Structures are given as structure tokens and as C-alpha cells.
Amino acid sequence: MAFEGLADRLQQTLQKVRGKGKVTEADVKVMMREVRLALLEADVNFKVVKQFIAKVKERAIGQEVLESLTPGQQVVKVVNEELTALMGGEQSKIAVANKPPTVIMMVGLQGAGKTTSTGKLANHLRKKHNRMPLLVAADVYRPAAINQLQTLGKQLGMPVFDLGTDTSPVEIAKRGIEKAKEEHHDYVIIDTAGRLHIDEGLMDELAQIKEITNPDEILLVVDAMTGQDAVNVAQSFHDQLGLSGVVLTKLDGDTRGGAALSIKSVTNTPVKFIGMGEKLDALEPFHPERMASRILGMGDVLSLIEKAQTNVDEKKAKELEEKMRTMSFTFEDFLEQLTQVRSMGPLDEILGMLPGAGQMKQLKNLKVDDKQLNHVEAIIKSMTKGEKLQPETINASRKKRIAKGSGRSVQEVNRLLKQFEDMKKMMKQMSNMQKGKKKGGMGG
Ligand code: GDP
């Protein structure tokens, strides 16, 4: 996962002072040396590191910390606040034009994830903001790019405007906006041409598109895995075009995180979205304070809740609660739950959002294996409806049949049946505890 090395080192360093009743200037100095190294190793721009350390040091040896009752915790708070500030402070939201359509120009070098992000952004605008964007294919130099956008449009059930590869991108962009006006789209997202490197031709063309479309947003898509290169690319694009924001892709990979931590400070352009995977729902608004908390192992419960809200059906959740209470939870419910949790993303990413999860050794070694979940799913799907509802009827010969049907071993079927029984017992205990609480007059 992204930021892993940095998160580990910062958390270890801060752990040493966290509980201290007294923090001396010398403690702060030692700590800052470690923080500095951790940031440099995470490929954060050296000037940014220097400024960051100076700020934290100044605050950490000031009255705010040394004279407080809990100096150890105050130091952590200062680091958290400064990390947040480094990444832009407040969340930078996507623009909304006073008069629709809002025009978004997507720019970037080839391979950064521009076309994919165009599709993801359209999906986000529809899902989260109930908007209906028009996608415009203006990348005429890579013929596959138009097809790629058309395919994304089909997957999303959204219209894509293109004029093939023989019309100039400037003309395509202009006509795309006219079309969006005619058809009352509230957003137009223009996928412009990428190049392998920044060159004058590219910048001229983008400047012309900017001139003619007068966009509300120019979003640069950069690949987080390229570290400081991403920062340099951002700087060049910003100097020549004036960016309004950055989409940082591939943060689901094991990038060290340097780009995320440097881009805002170096280029004064905020990261607005992060790409967390190849799928069309793997785009998240970037929240600096949540990212800082995640890096410092303080969890990101808010993002977790938001994920759950988009992926878990509330009515179903209520039904489930009822089933748990009345002990009528079956393998069918289990399968449904499994599918819902999996729709939230890779499990280790979800676990990473829990406070303190990074510090828990058990979790670290627990590689949540998607394959294993596939096996569980296969086993449950090989059960008959009756078996799913009444697993106690599953005798030896049925077990053999289920094992065969799912391509797993009888031992695995046994293990799952046992886990399911244990889970039901646990639910029973939990619901008894709940009842006890209610009786105790907690005003439930
Ligand atoms: P473009 O040349 O900039 O338009 O790049 P594409 O949109 O074609 O993306 C290049 C590759 O990066 C594709 O294989 C995408 O699936 C992949 N990609 C894009 N965004 C992400 C991301 O956030 N995470 C991961 N893992 N892959 C991504």
C-alpha cells in the first residue's frame, strides 16, 4: 500500500514521544532528525522537507507543546496539522460553473491514467453529485484513446462525443461543448491528447483548447509512482497552462508517497482526486487531513464510513441486524455480506483505515487474500438453497458434493462450516450483551 514505509517510520518515531509527560528540546531534535530522514526516504522534495521540519520544530519547541500538560500528544498533533497543511489543508473541491455546463479539461502525459481518470471522474460526478457529464474524445494522436473512451462510456452508460481522428482537437473540444449545451449536460469532460514528454506542440495545442473552451477546471493527471518526476511535470504544466488541480493516480500501488506530499507545496496546485485502482469506481476526493491521519496511524474512519455508505444498502443493513438479533442469519446472508464488503475495495486497504491498524502486528502479517475469499464464495455457491438456510443438514456425503462442486477440499468445507457456527455463537453473545445493556436502562 502507498505510504507504507513512511507511515511505519513516522509512527515509530512518534510512538517514542506520544506518552511522554515531559518532552525536552533535545527530544524534539532527535525526533526531527528521524522525521526528516523518513520524509526524504519517501521521496518528498528536499526543499519541502526542509520547510516542514523547520515549521514543526519551531512549534514543537514552543510554548504550545513544551508547557502543555500532554507534550507528547501535542507533538503528534503538530506533526499531524503540518502534514495536513503540506497537502493543502482543506479539501479542494471540484468546480461548479454558475452557468452549466462546467467544463473540465483533462491533461497529462501518456500512461499517467488520463483517459481512465476521465471515465472515473464522470462516474464520480454521476454517483456522488447526481450529474450527467458528456465525455469528449479529443486525443486524436493515439487512435486507441478514442476507442478507449468510447468503451468507458459504454461501461458507464454515458455518451461520448468524438469526431474521429481527422478533426483538430480544438474543433472537437469546441463542438463537444456546443453539443453539451444542446443536450443539457451539466459537465463536459474533455480528454485531451497526451504525449510521451512535454513538448511545445502539446502545450500550444492545450493552450488553444483552453483559450477556446474557457474551462472551469484544468486537471492534470499524474502517476504517483513516478515520484518527483510527477512533481516536475506538474510544475511545467502549471507554468504553461495554469492548472486548477491534480489527479494523482496509482496510489493503490506501493508508491512511497513523495508526490502526494510535495505537489501542493512545490506547485501551489492542490491534489483534488486520487486514483486507487484500475476500476471505474476507484477514484476518491483527496482529503489532506484524512490522508495525514492515515499516515500517522490515526485511522481514517470518515472515509471508511463514506465507503460503507456508497456500497452498503441501508435497508439491507437493517434487515441484517434483525436477522442477527433473531438468530436467523444464514449462509445466503453471509454471501451477500461478503459481496458487499468486497465491493468496498481490497480488504487490506479497508483495514488500513482503522485507527491503530498499522500498529497491530497481527493485522500486518494478515495478508487478506482475495483468493481465499473467492474459495469461500465458491463453497457457499455450491450449496443447495436448503443447505444454505440449514447448514446443520450438511452431512458427510453432502460435504463431498460441495467440495467437488467448488473445487475445494472437504477440510475447507468443514472449516467454513465451523467458522460459520462460531460466528453465529458470537452474534448470539453480542445480541445478549445488547439486551443486557438495554435492560440496564441506558436509554436505548
Ligand atoms: P493515459 O495514456 O494517460 O490516458 O492512460 P490510461 O488511462 O490509458 O491509463 C494507463 C494505465 O494505467 C491503464 O492500464 C490504467 O488501467 C492504469 N491506471 C490508471 N489509473 C490507475 C490507478 O489509479 N491505479 C492503478 N493501479 N492503475 C491505474
What's the CA gap between 356 and 299, in Å, rounded? 6
pLDDT for 312: 64
pLDDT for 443: 31
Q: Where are the alpha helices (DSSP H) in 87-227?
A: 114-129, 143-156, 169-182, 200-213
Domain residue spans in the chain? 4-86, 102-297, 305-436
- pLDDT at position 440 over 70: no
pLDDT for 309: 65
Question: Which residue's C-alpha cell is 452431512?
Answer: 395
Q: Is 275 in the pocket of ligand 1 (CB under 6 A)?
A: yes
pLDDT for 320: 67
- pLDDT at position 192 over 70: yes
- pLDDT at position 357 over 80: no
Reported as a single tens digit per residue, the pLDDT across 280-317 is 999 999 999 988 988 887 766 666 666 666 666 666 66
Per-residue pLDDT, averaged over 186-190, amounts to 97
What's the CA gap between 329 and 22, in Å, rounded? 52
- pLDDT at position 212 over 60: yes
Reported as a single tens digit per residue, the pLDDT across 394-409 is 999 999 999 999 999 9
Reported as a single tens digit per residue, the pLDDT across 141-172 is 887 999 999 999 999 999 999 999 999 999 99
Q: In this predicted structure, which of 41-45, 91-95, 335-339, 362-366 has the lowest mean pLDDT?
A: 362-366
Helix (H, G, I), strand (E, B) or coil at 168: coil
Instruction: Give the predicted TM-score (pTM) of the model.
Output: 0.74
Is domain 102-297 given the CATH code 3.40.50.1370 in the classification? no
Q: Is 257 in the pocket of ligand 1 (CB under 6 A)?
A: no
Ligand 1 atom with least separation from CA of 139: 4
pLDDT for 38: 92
Angle value at C-alpha 349, between 133 and 128, nearest 5 degrees: 20
Question: Is this complex scored with an ipTM above 0.90?
Answer: yes
- pLDDT at position 442 over 50: no
Q: Which CATH superfamily is domain 4-86 in?
A: SRP54, nucleotide-binding domain (1.20.120.140)
pLDDT for 437: 47
Ligand 1 site-directed mutation target among 223, 278, 284, most atoms within 8 Å of CB? 278
pLDDT for 121: 97
pLDDT for 257: 87
Q: Which band of pLDDT confidence, cut at 50, 70 and 90, is reported for residue 432? A: low
Q: Is 278 in the pocket of ligand 1 (CB under 6 A)?
A: yes
Q: What is the DSSP string of 378-417?
A: HHHHTS-HHHHH-GGG--HHHHHHHHHHHT--HHHHHHHH
Q: Which band of pLDDT confidence, cut at 50, 70 and 90, is reported for residue 444? A: very low
**Residue 382 to residues 174, 336, 341, Cα–Cα distance (Å):** 55, 15, 21
Q: Which band of pLDDT confidence, cut at 50, 70 and 90, is reported for residue 380? A: very high
Ligand 1 site-directed mutation target among 120, 249, 271, 349, most atoms within 8 Å of CB? 249
Q: Is 170 in the pocket of ligand 1 (CB under 6 A)?
A: no
Helix (H, G, I), strand (E, B) or coil at 87: coil
Per-residue pLDDT, averaged over 318-343, amounts to 73
- pLDDT at position 350 over 90: no
Q: Is 2 in the pocket of ligand 1 (CB under 6 A)?
A: no
Mention every residue, 6+ apart, whose C-beta is less than 8 A from residue 233. 108, 109, 198, 220, 222, 226
Residue at 291: amino acid letter: M
Q: Is 115 in the pocket of ligand 1 (CB under 6 A)?
A: yes
pLDDT for 355: 59
Ligand 1 centre and the CA of 113: distance in Å?
A: 3
Chain length of the chain: 444
pLDDT for 300: 64
Q: Is 118 in the pocket of ligand 1 (CB under 6 A)?
A: no
What's the CA gap between 90 and 92, in Å, rounded? 6
> Which residue, by CA, sits nearest to atom 9 of ligand 1?
113
pLDDT for 85: 95
Ligand 1 atom with least separation from CA of 120: 20
| Mean of per-residue pLDDT scores for the chain | 85
Ligand 1 centre and the CA of 116: distance in Å?
A: 6
pLDDT for 301: 63
Ligand 1 centre and the CA of 250: distance in Å?
A: 7
Contact 379, 336 (CB under 8 A): no
Ligand 1 centre and the CA of 114: distance in Å?
A: 7
Ligand 1 atom with least separation from CA of 110: 2
Per-residue pLDDT, averaged over 255-281, amounts to 94
Q: Domain 305-436 class?
A: mainly alpha
What's the CA gap between 260 and 271, in Å, rounded? 8
* Residue bearing the bigger pLDDT, 135 or 31: 135
pLDDT for 431: 61
> Which residue, by CA, sits nearest to atom 5 of ligand 1?
113
Ligand 1 centre and the CA of 222: distance in Å?
A: 10
pLDDT for 438: 45
Nearest CA to 203 among 236, 252, 154? Answer: 236
Q: Is 252 in the pocket of ligand 1 (CB under 6 A)?
A: yes
Q: What percent of the chain has pLDDT over 90?
A: 53
- pLDDT at position 267 over 60: yes
Q: Could you tell me the strand order of the sheet in which 271-275 lies? A: 160-161, 133-137, 187-191, 102-108, 217-223, 245-249, 271-275, 283-285
* Residue bearing the bigger pLDDT, 346 or 21: 21
Q: Is 151 in the pocket of ligand 1 (CB under 6 A)?
A: no
Contact 375, 340 (CB under 8 A): no
Task: List the binding residues.
Answer: 108-115, 191-195, 249-252
> Which residue, by CA, sits nearest to atom 28 of ligand 1?
278
Q: What percent of the chain has pLDDT over 70?
A: 83
Ligand 1 centre and the CA of 8: distance in Å?
A: 27
Helix (H, G, I), strand (E, B) or coil at 22: coil
Helix (H, G, I), strand (E, B) or coil at 337: helix
